[in-house]
Structure 1
Amino acid sequence: MTNKNVTLMRGEPEIAVKKLAIPIMISMILTALYNIIDGIWVAGLGQTAIAGIGFVTPIFMVLNGASVGLGNGATSSISRFIGAKNHEMANESAKHSLFIFLISSVILTVIFLIIQKPLLASYGANGQTLNEAMSYATPLFLGLIAFMFSNGCSGILRGEGDMKRAMYVIIATVILNAILDPLFIYTLGLGSAGASLATIVSSAISALIMLYWILIKKDTYVKVNLKNTKFDSNLTKDILKVGIPSALDMLIMAIAMSIYLIIISQIGGDYGIATFTSGQRLYLFAIMPLTAIGSAVLTVSGTAFGAKNGDYLSRTHKYGAKFGLILGTAITLILVIFSNQLATIFAYTPETASLIPGIASYLQIACLSLIATGIGMPSSFFYQGIGKGLYSLMFTVLREIIFVIILIYLFVYVLNFGLIGIWMGLCIGRAIPSVLNYIFARYEIRRQRKEFGN
């Protein structure tokens, strides 16, 4: 099974990207359902609970982003060694990645438990909204190790092209999460805390199953033997040179999200926060298929780079961008055409019905950027695949901090467009850098091909 995956990664790049992207896409959509399902059940707790959880969103992005980022570091390192046909170093890369996941989860758990209350208060959370935010956040921080190993082990499997088994695990854990949510939130009376606890338990089960495959059953392509482990600083740097910038991508987006929340809180109060965070849930859900394409590009481009095959490198990126553009356009049309119907998912009670027009407006304006994101996302993951994660980080800063915030300031404080101005800033500010990202990736590919001589 795993040998077939490796053969696929070394074969025709278009076929590899397509076949690898589909199970990743299903897995990521199902993973995103954790957040969607939480939102649906928490909606029954009222607007304050929705707003409270909304304040936790940027922090959750940091936690989840750290685990996904380090997982991407493992994917990139392993796939490049596979491309170079160096099985032994691929094994060592997987082993070192597991230790990195463990150490990182301990450090980040301690940090976020200490800073959670002042951090949430700095966003504008106060009173009962702050209490709801704390109730939701604390279990997430305590269970960070579950996220870290769930996403990290998935990164190891992606590195060797084994996408399907991770997908099967996600299917099972999403079903479990859907069962646990109402049980913890309402039956046990845990409220907002029950929603995050259900997600943690589900993630922990996902991590344990994949660790069983890697460490005990040992039926993966990479063979991890924890005995006689020797620290390899160069290998650790190889993983972290992609993992850290990839994790910082999410940190930058979380910082940007914090700024958005502060501005939205000033302009629209709890209504604006609830509107934005509900719409953002759908945006994050919609972007998952594009992220899946990017993840496939990461794996296949890493293999092509390790093999020093410039033609495959170029074809991988071009096909990923084409795939992303088509899918991004289709998703955008769905969000815009069915915006009112989709908005009711998070505003189905009499108390929250007033949020429907605001959520629909967010979907109709902000989500138009997904068309350009379709070519920008594969480009960012391409940089990670070739071991140049700093390029991906550069475009994240350009997109989420520089362009978006400048345009939000223009539309809100200069032109006085209110919440609509924020949605416009998000749309245009994300679209322009995505196009620039694609153009720069094509330049980098030409440079690499000259270096490879093919």
Structure 2
Amino acid sequence: MSNRNVELMQGEPEIAIRKLAIPIMISMLLTASYNIIDGIWVVGLGQSAIAGIGFVTPIFLILNGISNGIGSGATSRIARYVGSKDHEKVSKTATQSLFLILVASILLTITILLIQNPILRLFGATGETLTQSLNYSTPLFLGLAGIMFSNGCSGILRGEGDMKRAMYATIVSVMLNAILDPLLIYFLNLGVMGAALATILSSVLSATVILYWILIKKDTYAQIRLKNFKIDSEIQKDILKVGIPTSFEIVVIYAAMSIHLIIIAMVGGDFGVASFTSGHKFYSLAILPFTAIGSSVIAVVGSSYGAKNGDFISRAHMYGVKFGVVFGIIITLILTIFSNQLAVIFAYTPETQHLIPGIALYLQVACLCLPFTGAGMTSSFFYQGIGKGSISLFFSILKELIFIVPFIYILGVMMNMGLLGVWIGMAGGRSLACILNFIFARFEIKKIRKEIGS
């Protein structure tokens, strides 16, 4: 099976991206449902429990982003060696990736357990909310290795084009979490601790399944060799050249969102913040297809880069962009045409019905950037595919901080356009940054083709 995946990656890039992207989309939709299921069960624990988990969530997402970053670094490096048909270095990279995941798991677990209390207090958790936060975070962070290995090992599979089995592992994880949540939270009366344990146990199972394929069944293209293992600093540096910037991007996104919320609160108060919070959930779901397309672009571009096939690199990027733009147009039409109906999902009670116009306006205006986002995100994943994660990070900073923040402040505050100005600023800032990202990617591809002579 792994050889068929490798042949797919080395074949026509358009076919490869199409076939690889679908399983990733399914995995990401399942992961989104994972969070929704958790949210449904936790609601019954009360306000303090919900708030407590809310304080932990940003920390968890950053840690999750680090594991995804290492996974992306592994995907990029492995795909490039698949393209150059260097099976030995594919296996070495997979082995070094597992070592990095292990080291990162140990260091992050120790560090976060030592500093979690002061960080949660800094965020504003006090009293019963702080207690609930710690009840949730302590078991969650103790089991961080399960999450790290689940995400990191999935990156190894993606690097050799094995998207389907990465998807199967996600399905197993989501199903177990759905079963364990009510059992641990309510039947065993563990409360928020039960929610954390359900997350960890399901991640451990996912990681175990993938490690079984890699280490025991040994039917993956990458062959892990633990005997006589030696640290290879060159391979590790190359993995981290993609992994560290990719991990840091989530920090940039959350830092920017904090600034966005301050400006939104200035012009729209609680109504504006609530409208943005609800509307942004739709935006987060809307960009999942772009992430799936981009993940397939990493593998295909990486393989083509390793094979020194400039034509395939260019075709893979352009097809990914077209794929993303088409999805962006379709999703934009859905969000704008059905904005009022969709807004009701997060404002269906008598106390929240007044938010419907605000959420609908966000969907109608702020989400107009989605077609451009499809092109921009695909271009960012292209940089990761060729091992230049720092460029992807640069465009995230450009989009979230340098463009969006001034745009929304000028239009919303200085020009006194209120929330409409903020939503226009978000759409405009994202669109402009994504257009520049795409243009730069095409120049980068032109430069690569000159260097490799194709």
* Superposed displacement of residue 155, structure 1: 0.4
Q: How far apart, CA to CA, are the structure 1 residues paired with 2:228 and 2:102? A: 18
Does the CA contact (< 8 Å) of 1:324 and 1:374 recur in 2? Answer: yes
Q: Where does residue 174 of structure 1 map in the other structure?
A: 174
1:224 aligned partner, one-letter code: I
* Superposed displacement of residue 134, structure 1: 4.9
* Superposed displacement of residue 392, structure 1: 0.5
Q: Where does residue 237 of structure 1 map in the other structure?
A: 237
Q: How far apart, CA to CA, are the structure 2 residues paired with 1:113 and 1:277? A: 29
Q: Per the alignment, do residues 197 and 405 of structure 1 end up closer, same or farther by CA in structure 2, a change over 3 Å counting?
A: farther
Q: Per the alignment, do residues 137 and 230 of structure 1 end up closer, same or farther by CA in structure 2, a change over 3 Å counting?
A: same
Q: How far apart, CA to CA, are the structure 1 residues paired with 2:425 and 2:449? A: 37
* Superposed displacement of residue 280, structure 1: 3.1
Aligned pairs (5 A) from 1:266-281: 275-281=275-281
Indicate whether 1:439 and 2:439 are aligned.
yes
* Superposed displacement of residue 145, structure 1: 1.6
Q: How far apart, CA to CA, are the structure 2 residues paired with 1:45 and 1:279? A: 25
Q: Where does residue 211 of structure 1 map in the other structure?
A: 211
Q: How far apart, CA to CA, are the structure 1 residues paired with 2:284 and 2:424? A: 17
Q: Tell which deviates more after alignment, 273-282 or 329-338.
A: 273-282
Aligned pairs (5 A) from 1:358-397: 358-397=358-397
Note the aligned Cα RMSD (angstroms).
2.7
Calculate percent identity across the aligned residue pairs: 63
Q: Per the alignment, do residues 396 and 365 of structure 1 end up closer, same or farther by CA in structure 2, a change over 3 Å counting?
A: same
Does the CA contact (< 8 Å) of 1:6 and 1:82 recur in 2? Answer: yes
* Superposed displacement of residue 165, structure 1: 1.1
* Superposed displacement of residue 44, structure 1: 4.9
Q: How far apart, CA to CA, are the structure 2 residues paired with 1:364 and 1:132? A: 37
Q: Tell which deviates more after alignment, 361-370 or 305-314.
A: 361-370
Q: Where does residue 97 of structure 2 map in the other structure?
A: 97
Q: How far apart, CA to CA, are the structure 2 residues paired with 1:389 and 1:83? A: 19
Q: Give per-residue Cα distances to partners, 1:44-84, cap 9 Å, x unaligned.
A: 55666656544444333311211111100000000101111
Q: Where does residue 199 of structure 1 map in the other structure?
A: 199
Q: Give per-residue Cα distances to partners, 1:211-236, cap 9 Å, x unaligned.
A: 11111111111000211101111111
Q: Where does residue 254 of structure 1 map in the other structure?
A: 254
Q: Where does residue 19 of structure 1 map in the other structure?
A: 19
* Superposed displacement of residue 270, structure 1: 6.6
Q: How far apart, CA to CA, are the structure 2 residues paired with 1:364 and 1:190? A: 42
Q: How far apart, CA to CA, are the structure 2 residues paired with 1:250 and 1:243? A: 12
Q: Per the alignment, do residues 322 and 155 of structure 1 end up closer, same or farther by CA in structure 2, a change over 3 Å counting?
A: same
* Superposed displacement of residue 170, structure 1: 1.3
Q: How far apart, CA to CA, are the structure 1 residues paired with 2:401 and 2:144? A: 26
Q: How far apart, CA to CA, are the structure 2 residues paired with 1:272 and 1:127? A: 28
1:285 aligned partner, one-letter code: L
Does the CA contact (< 8 Å) of 1:35 and 1:281 recur in 2? Answer: no
Q: Per the alignment, do residues 332 and 435 of structure 1 end up closer, same or farther by CA in structure 2, a change over 3 Å counting?
A: same
1:313 aligned partner, one-letter code: I
Q: Tell which deviates more after alignment, 75-84 or 344-353.
A: 344-353
Q: Where does residue 334 of structure 2 map in the other structure?
A: 334
Q: How far apart, CA to CA, are the structure 1 residues paired with 2:128 and 2:415? A: 33
Q: How far apart, CA to CA, are the structure 2 residues paired with 1:377 and 1:291? A: 7
Q: Give per-residue Cα distances to partners, 1:111-149, cap 9 Å, x unaligned.
A: 333444444454555666656555554444333222211
Q: Per the alignment, do residues 194 and 422 of structure 1 end up closer, same or farther by CA in structure 2, a change over 3 Å counting?
A: farther
Task: Give 3-state SS (helix, strand or coil) of 2:301's partner.
Answer: helix
* Superposed displacement of residue 34, structure 1: 1.6
Task: Give 3-state SS (helix, strand or coil) of 1:223's partner.
Answer: coil
Does the CA contact (< 8 Å) of 2:267 and 2:413 recur in 1? Answer: no
Q: Per the alignment, do residues 188 and 402 of structure 1 end up closer, same or farther by CA in structure 2, a change over 3 Å counting?
A: farther
Q: How far apart, CA to CA, are the structure 2 residues paired with 1:330 and 1:435? A: 19
Task: Give 3-state SS (helix, strand or coil) of 2:219's partner.
Answer: coil
Q: Which stretches in structure 2 are left out of the alignment for 5+ residues?
A: none
Q: Which stretches in structure 1 are left out of the alignment for 5+ residues?
A: none
Q: Per the alignment, do residues 281 and 363 of structure 1 end up closer, same or farther by CA in structure 2, a change over 3 Å counting?
A: same
Q: Where does residue 76 of structure 2 map in the other structure?
A: 76
Q: Per the alignment, do residues 364 and 108 of structure 1 end up closer, same or farther by CA in structure 2, a change over 3 Å counting?
A: farther
**What is the TM-score when the length of structure 2 is the normalising length?**
0.90
Q: How far apart, CA to CA, are the structure 2 residues paired with 1:66 and 1:168? A: 22
Q: How far apart, CA to CA, are the structure 1 residues paired with 2:132 and 2:278? A: 16
Q: How far apart, CA to CA, are the structure 1 residues paired with 2:365 and 2:270? A: 20
Task: Give 3-state SS (helix, strand or coil) of 1:231's partner.
Answer: coil
Q: Give per-residue Cα distances to partners, 1:160-186, cap 9 Å, x unaligned.
A: 001111111212222222233333444
* Superposed displacement of residue 340, structure 1: 4.0
Q: Per the alignment, do residues 113 and 271 of structure 1 end up closer, same or farther by CA in structure 2, a change over 3 Å counting?
A: farther
Task: Give 3-state SS (helix, strand or coil) of 2:287's partner.
Answer: helix
Q: Give per-residue Cα distances to partners, 1:227-277, cap 9 Å, x unaligned.
A: 110111111111111111111122222222333345556666776655544
